[in-house]
A and B are shown apart, each in its own frame.
Chain A
């Protein structure tokens, strides 16, 4: 006699794996990606590659946080480095002044970044589009000015160095960052797929319509700013302690533009798009070190080419080729299937014959 399957029982997990994960190429790739991250050190503990993957995970989280704000709600932030750098500096200063460990100072730094997110989000209630982007751009510039204004406190042009390490070894640091990255990503993904995520989309598409149905868009936009800043702050804190330096470079315009490039390259408003973009572009830039003179040129050309042929981003472009949406029930299917895995309808209907009058 067999009873109903309990959720989280092993058979249920296996069935879920078979029918919900392995049935779709996109989810299979995501699973392989997670397994790759978790198992990579079993095959290589080369400190250089551990460093590349650790930094990539940090920047992927940073890019995903930008995507939640700019991709989903359409509040395009061109000053995201403000949250990243602010958290790094806060963690560094708190650690220096109080002697607290990074395990406490990084969350506190991220918390301050969250508050800063609300502060930066306030202008979004009045200004929109490119005007809002310009407002966000002003914040890291102001922060840099303040850093130079109080050099004894902030280290000025040089920044603060000698920050405590995240772990005792590169391997420990790697696993710590990867676990934080995966958990954060899961939270961001769940949030983006929830009702709130839908409302974020709606705000981007037609804010007035959302307000018409009684949704408080002010709260929604501030929430997007706060959550985005929180995760950018976590990334910033991890980055500062990984490099062991919190400097003005973390607030630079270049650092604000990077998540935009990664997100657009991977595919915006997806969360996993920016992650894929970062995990493709960051290591590629490293590999291109072999062609020192042509490195940046080759990198720019690569982005241009990909954007030319996959304008919706790499992830969307690839998934559109690997998966198909059922015309009847809208469930996604692998491109190899002839019938929908949910409703059984034929996916590739023959072209209707031309009827002669």
Chain B
């Protein structure tokens, strides 16, 4: 072979080489990166991408693709316009193939409109409102079939979980304190999303078993989501003689609630939704007064929802020195789900990938993920349920689901311990 032949061979090799290096899937990870929700979305996606790339990338047909993550700061907490523009920039200027993330529902709504315009698959991992998918994917499938949600469960399902947690605590009061008809106070922040939950909780708690919990609702208190003092509400709840406080708090008010409740030693056990209490900084934020507060969550230390939960938490903590919040596990799952769907589709053709995504049956850190007809994550036993967690002994500990009997089966996760009533509640009400 002469020099020319060698040169041609080199040229071909270089061309092929450049072709191989171009086999990259660009995934835009969108979120408010200045906030913990966005930061954890990025961390979760990073972890998944690194795992996949280490294993040789994503097999699509005869080709292997590396995953390249593009960080897209949406600034969505401040401006919806900014968020939608960031997504358009990601698609048109940064040339992403897929999108994963999003946190604030209103901003996600605008971002998904842009994604639908460009027929880009967008897997939501942080926004909960039902209407992001329901009423869009089912009513206008051709436009919105590119949207999926991996986490969290939609708000109506989160409400279901929080009501189940309340049932658990009401039952604990009934059995351990010998109170046949426990009194429940509802403490919900003044926000639109909380209204239907307050209404349903009121009806469900008061209804007799087996439909309801057979409790007495002593009243509903609605502090501001940004209140810095809830002493008046808590004092009123104490005077009303409640043994349980059903909390519906997503805003910063969760911290003053925990602090005031612990400081005043209110003899009523809090349970429900308290987003602040989901974070590992909870005890520090409440000066250790938030012990025994219970809330729904998606992960807890030492709880193996699936065989993938503990490895995910360990790797995440080793790498980022933080306990993952739900956006982290959501983004981690979303990248794996997408990679699996691409492999099954055997092509990057968007319609084929959508069909493959619809057939997803993936077991991730937070449960088994199967999409329903609106492309939302299925809630329930055998799928994803969420967890009930409580702060005991200086750490977050799961108490639900534990021997949860539903649809003829018993659901329990390894590492879930019994719920503990606060000692001063027991002291005040033991008969």
Contact = CB atoms under 8 A, between A and B. Distances in A.
Contacts of A47: 88, 92
A247 B80 contact: yes
A244 interface: yes
A61 to B, nearest CB: 14
Given A157-B191, A158-B131, A244-B113, 8 more contacts: A157-B105, A157-B192, A158-B106, A158-B132, A243-B110, A245-B84, A254-B79, A292-B73
A58 to B, nearest CB: 9
B194 to A, nearest CB: 10
Given A48-B93, A161-B109, A244-B113, A254 B78 contact: yes
Interface of A is mostly: helix
A305 B113 CA distance: 37
A249 B192 contact: no
Contacts of A249: 79-81, 106-107
Chain B interface category by residue count: 20 to 34
A244 B34 CA distance: 26
7 contacts: A51-B88, A147-B192, A162-B113, A249-B80, A249-B106, A254-B78, A292-B73
Interface stretch (A132-140, A148-156, A325-333, A345-353): A148-156
Contact of A156 (B34, B107, B192): B192
Contacts of A293: 34
A243 B89 contact: no
Contact of B192 (A52, A151, A162, A254): A151
Interface in B125-145: 129, 131-132, 136, 140
A172 interface: no
Query: Would you list the 5 A-B pairs with minimal beta carbon distance, nearest first?
Result: A148-B192, A249-B80, A48-B92, A247-B106, A245-B110
A295 B82 CA distance: 12
Interface string B183-213: 0000000011101000000000000000000
A48 B89 CA distance: 6
B45 to A, nearest CB: 16
A20 interface: no
Interface in A35-58: 46-48, 51-52, 55
Contacts of B192: 147-148, 151, 156-157
B86 interface: yes
Interface string A143-184: 000011001000111110110000000000000000000000
B259 interface: no
A353 to B, nearest CB: 60
A338 interface: no
Main secondary structure of the interface of B (DSSP, over half): helix
Contact of A159 (B71, B82, B85, B109): B109
A248 B106 contact: yes
Contact of B89 (A155, A239, A245, A289): A289
A52 B78 CA distance: 18
B33 interface: yes
Interface in B284-335: none
B86 A289 contact: yes
A320 interface: no
B92 A245 contact: no
A286 interface: yes
A218 B86 CA distance: 44
A156 B106 CA distance: 10
Nearest to A159: B106
Nearest to B106: A247
B93 A158 contact: no
B71 A292 contact: yes
Contacts of A254: 78-79
A1 to B, nearest CB: 60
A270 B33 CA distance: 38
Given A51-B85, A159-B109, A243 B136 contact: no
B88 A48 contact: yes
Nearest to B118: A47
A296 B107 CA distance: 19
Contacts of B109: 158-159, 161, 245, 247
Contacts of A285: 82
A55 B106 contact: no
Nearest to A244: B113
Contacts of A51: 85, 88
A245 B85 contact: no
A46 B110 CA distance: 20
A158 B89 CA distance: 23
Contacts of B193: 156-157
A155 B109 CA distance: 12
A244 B92 contact: no
B85 A52 contact: yes
A55 B71 CA distance: 23
A156 B110 CA distance: 15
Interface string B105-117: 1110110010000
A160 to B, nearest CB: 9
A148 B110 contact: no
Nearest to B140: A162
A128 B28 CA distance: 49
A155 B88 contact: no
A157 B92 contact: no
B113 A243 contact: yes
Given A158-B106, A159-B109, A161-B136, A243 B129 contact: no
Contacts of B140: 162
B33 A243 contact: no
Contacts of A247: 80, 106, 109-110
A243 B106 contact: no
Contacts of B110: 161, 243-245, 247
A148 B71 CA distance: 33
Interface in A264-309: 285-286, 289, 292-293, 295-296
A200 B210 CA distance: 70
B191 to A, nearest CB: 7
A109 to B, nearest CB: 18
A292 B131 CA distance: 30
Given A157-B129, A248-B106, A162 B136 contact: yes
A255 to B, nearest CB: 8
Contacts of A295: 73, 75
A243 B80 contact: yes
Contacts of B191: 148, 157
A157 B106 contact: yes
Contacts of B132: 158
Nearest to B108: A158
A161 B195 CA distance: 21
Contacts of B86: 289
A87 B109 CA distance: 19
Nearest to A165: B117
A202 to B, nearest CB: 36
Contacts of A248: 106
